[in-house]
Structure 1
Amino acid sequence: MFTLRQLETFREVVRARTTVGAAKALNVSQPAVSNMIRQMEARIGFPLFERLGNRLVPTPDADEIYRDSESIFSLYQAFSHRIETRQRSEAGHLRVVGTPPLANALIPQALREFLSRRPAVRVHLDTRRITGVMESVETRMADIGLGLNPPEREGLSYEVLAMAQMVCVFPPGHPLEDKVAITSRDLTGLPLVLYEPNTSLDRAISSDILTRELRTQAVAEVRYSSLACLMAEAGLGVGFVDSLTATVGDRYRLSARPLYPSQPVPVCVITRKGEPAKRIQATFLSELRRSPALMAIQEYGAEVPDHAR
């Protein structure tokens, strides 16, 4: 029905809302873009855009075509990337995707050490929610995925790099700072910053700790641990984050205490099952396992006894 070039032009017009903007993005003339859209509309027999002033607004049908074309272009981009890697050494390119906690606390430091000895290596780094991380690995948009507490999915392989734990974070001077470990009873009556239900970090805190009664104390629900830290830092409530986030440098002006009973959260690397790793991928993973940031998790856990306060 449509050529790939026509779909690419159509998608740029949807994004730019003008043929001029689309032409600039595609490095073609504006008349060429307009002609392409007219050819598409003539072929399908209905308009794709409505003109409102100087803007082109996609019709409901066009919006649906745009969404349907996402998978086509994801596959095309993955295919194009694989062709490009065949033009040069496999050792020269690494694609990593991670969830925000690991993108903030682990991956940059690991890449700094890795690339310091390999200046010719090029890295593509992306950050997504855990479902997006798994999809990126599945569709070969990424060689390696990194996430906390990922759900199992057929076709993917999981390796636990370290076992972090969930901790409470709050501003220095907070009454909880006197505790060695925090129980659900210690949290009674306090404003809490929680995660959206059924997210990986929400699942990492058991109902024995985060009881139904404590959930009613939530002042906010967030998606990412960085936001939980910022909310806690502002004094809006006690937050819950993984110990990797809690111990990364001096990024947040917060104190942290582990939960009791301990709430483990695995730090996992995600790869495609049954597929041998590229040499550069295997080397990076080998160094990642010895990352100082991962060692800091173990040191943090060693300082806190497993028994109560």
Structure 2
Amino acid sequence: MPKCYILLFMHHIQQRQIEAFRAVMIAGSISAAAANLNITQPAVSRLIRDLEAEIGFQLFNRVRGRLVPRAQASKLFHEVERVFVGLDHISRVAQDINAESEGFIRLGTVSSLNKLCASVVLPEVLAVHPRLSVIFDTESTERVLDLVSLRHYDIGLICSEYVPTGLFSVLLGRGDAVAVVAQEHPLAQKECVSMEDLSRERLILPGRTSPLRLSLEKTINAANINTSNSIEASLANGCRLASSNLGVTITDPLVAKTSSAKVKILKLEPAMSVSYQLVRLEKARPTGPSALFEASFKTAIEKLLN
């Protein structure tokens, strides 16, 4: 934890109060925050109460012994993260200067792209830049975009058409969502499946926060398909569930093609486009490791989709 005083709008706020607030927001509970800070639970509770007294408003609702963040807490946390991320960045720059390294890349990616990144792109980049330091995280699309905007990540990899104002995006490729079934499934005899085919099957759907799920729900609703017996799972687990013959998974084409599960990949009608984008803050053309990373990822996606 960086040791410096954070000056917010109330000069009586103490560093320890902010650390406790941040720990609770990240860990999700008083007990976990106390463990992370190596202090007692009553101490964390007291620091939170003192912070609320200083700023003049309540940050959390107390529900059955738990602290549930209010909207004000989320807004404050956003600003607190900007400060801590900035301090962390300065610390890492100093470490790189001292170590005479080739710099570092902080990378956040959605789950559908992390396997390609780990198995193909990062090995290529590190082979050329062996002294490069890398932070490699897997997050939701919303979280990746938020952390890129906060400068926590230098590069974000997402599967979405939407990129918020203030971020620069590079289209890495486009593909169409696919259906995935066990090799012994009756639909495995087909090359393409329709919504009518799916209406008679148990569907394995991506999580509700996935951009693909939003597109899929529009198509499913238009076809009047009943999803009451569906399974909701992460993209990474969808192919495994399909390989166990538990249903038909609708998933991202890169997830299907990089999965180790023994499945049959089928075209889906009507087509649902999936876009892969790299996002960053700076519009200027990247150089060095960042440029190689971008080029390698684009090439890897093109090879898999074509």
TM-score for both structures, normalised by structure 2 = 0.76
Alignment of 1:164-183 (within 5 A): 164-183=175-194
Aligned partners of 1:149 and 1:266 also within 8 Å: yes
1:192 alignment counterpart: 203
Q: Secondary structure at the match of 2:254?
A: helix
The answer for the alignment partner of 1:220 in structure 2 is 230
Q: How many residue pairs were aligned?
A: 288
Q: CA distance change for structure 1 residues 29 and 233 in 2, over 3 Å: closer, same or farther?
A: closer
Unaligned runs of 5+ in 2: 1-9
The 3-state SS of whatever aligns with 1:215 is coil
CA offset digits 1:99-123 (Å, max 9, x no partner): 1111134444311222233332111
Structure 2 residue aligned with 1:303? none
Q: CA deviation at 1:6?
A: 2.6
Provide the residue aligned with 2:268 in structure 1. Answer: 259
Instruction: State which of 229, 246, 253 in structure 2 corresponds to 1:236.
Output: 246
Counterpart residue type for residue 126 of structure 1 = D
Measured in 2, the distance between the counterparts of 1:140 and 1:6 equals: 24
Secondary structure class of the residue paired with 2:193:
coil
Counterparts of 1:35 and 1:190, CA distance in 2: 54
Q: 1:217 to 1:99 in 2, by over 3 A?
A: same
Q: Specify the SS of the correspondent of 1:95.
A: strand
Tell me, which stretches of 5 or more residues in structure 1 are unaligned?
Answer: 50-56, 299-309
2:299 is equivalent to residue 290 of structure 1: yes
Q: Tell me how far apart the structure 2 counterparts of residues 185 and 30 of structure 1 sit (CA, whole Å).
A: 55
Percent identity, aligned pairs only, is: 24
Aligned to 1:130: 141
C-alpha contact 1:204 1:265 (8 A) present in aligned 2: no
**1:206·1:263 contact (CA, 8 Å) conserved in 2?**
no
CA distance in 2, matches of 1:186, 1:164: 21
Q: 1:70 aligns with which of 70, 77, 86?
A: 77
Name the CA distance, whole Å, in 1 between partners of 2:44 and 2:197.
63
Cα distance 1:7–1:237, how it changes in 2: closer, same or farther (>3 A)? same
The question of whether the paired residues in 1 share the 8 Å contact of 2:112 and 2:235 is answered with yes
**Contact 1:158/1:270 (CA < 8 Å) preserved in 2?**
yes
One-letter code aligned to 2:241: M
Match in the other structure for 2:4? none
Task: State the shift of 1:191 in Å.
Answer: 1.7
Letter in 1 for 2:248: V
User: 2:109, 2:139 within 8 Å by CA — same for their partners in 1?
Assistant: yes
Alignment deviations for residues 239-297 of structure 1 (CA, whole Å, 9 cap, x no partner): 11121111115x21211111134433122111225355353322211222222x54122
1:142 Cα deviation after fit: 0.8
Counterpart Cα distance in 2 of 1:166 and 1:238: 13
The worse-fitting range, judged by mean Cα deviation, of 170-179 and 147-156 is 147-156
2:21–2:48 Cα contact (<8 Å) kept: yes
From 80, 83, 90, the counterpart of 2:87: 80
Partner of residue 255, structure 2: 245
2:149 equivalent to 1:142: no
**1:140-185: CA deviation from partner (whole Å, max 9, x where unpaired):** 1111111112413211222221222211101111111111222223
* Cα displacement string for residues 59-117 of structure 1 (whole angstroms, at most 9, x for unaligned residues): 67x87776454223311222113313442358421011111111134444311222233
Residue 6 (structure 2) aligns with: none
Distance 1:86 1:134 in 2: 22
Is 2:125 the counterpart of 1:114?
yes
* Secondary structure class of the residue paired with 1:182: strand
In 1, the alpha carbon distance for the partners of 2:110 and 2:133 equals 20
